[in-house]
Amino acid sequence: MDIKELEPGFSICHAIYPGDMAELKSRGFRSIICNRMPGEAEDHIDATELRQAAKAAGIEWVEIPVTPGEYTPEVVEAFGEAIETLPSPILGFCRSGRRAVSLWIHNQMQQAICDLGPLLQAAHAAGHDLHEQKDTFKKR
């Protein structure tokens, strides 16, 4: 697994599998946010099995499915609520980690927590160049 920390208490990763839960638990993760859409890829396991594996490992599980590029206010709000209420550290994941990092930036901007520059730098350091999307990230 290629886990990238965006800030203390929140990291992102590409797709995970039930067999990864023991390692995630050993790395200290207490919660997982899944941003994959149900059935989005035939080569990836159903979220039900992931949810059950997380529960068996003692890791909280939340699903906030999002289609790439469609970061509605409702999805950003749900993501922000999860970040605020789930026990940390939290791992956000999707197919590549891009939706998870995009939701993190949207949430940070909505909360007016940080300027966009450092957020884009954190995303880039985690392997996701989102500079071409900078106009989509707006403070409220």
Task: Tell me what the pLDDT averaged over the chain comes to.
Answer: 83
Q: Note whether residue 125 is domain-resident.
A: yes
Q: Note whether residue 138 is domain-resident.
A: no
State the Cα–Cα distance between residues 105 and 111, nearest whole angstrom: 10
Helix (H) or strand (E) holding 6: strand 4-7
Quick check: 111 and 80 in contact, CB under 8 A? yes
Residue-wise pLDDT for 48-106, tens only, equals 889 999 999 999 999 999 988 888 889 989 999 999 999 999 999 988 888 888 888 77
Quick check: 89 and 9 in contact, CB under 8 A? yes
Q: How many domains does the chain have?
A: 1
Q: How far is CA 54 from CA 13, 43, 73, 107, in A?
A: 15, 20, 27, 24
Q: Is the pLDDT of residue 114 over 70?
A: no
Q: State pTM to two decimals.
A: 0.82
Nearest to 90 by CA among 11, 7, 21, 14: 11
pLDDT score of 122: 66
Q: Note whether residue 39 is domain-resident.
A: yes
Average the pLDDT over 15-21 and give the result. 92
| Band of residue 11 on the pLDDT scale cut at 50, 70, 90 | very high
State the Cα–Cα distance between residues 92 and 104, nearest whole angstrom: 9
Q: Note whether residue 81 is domain-resident.
A: yes
Q: Note whether residue 140 is domain-resident.
A: no
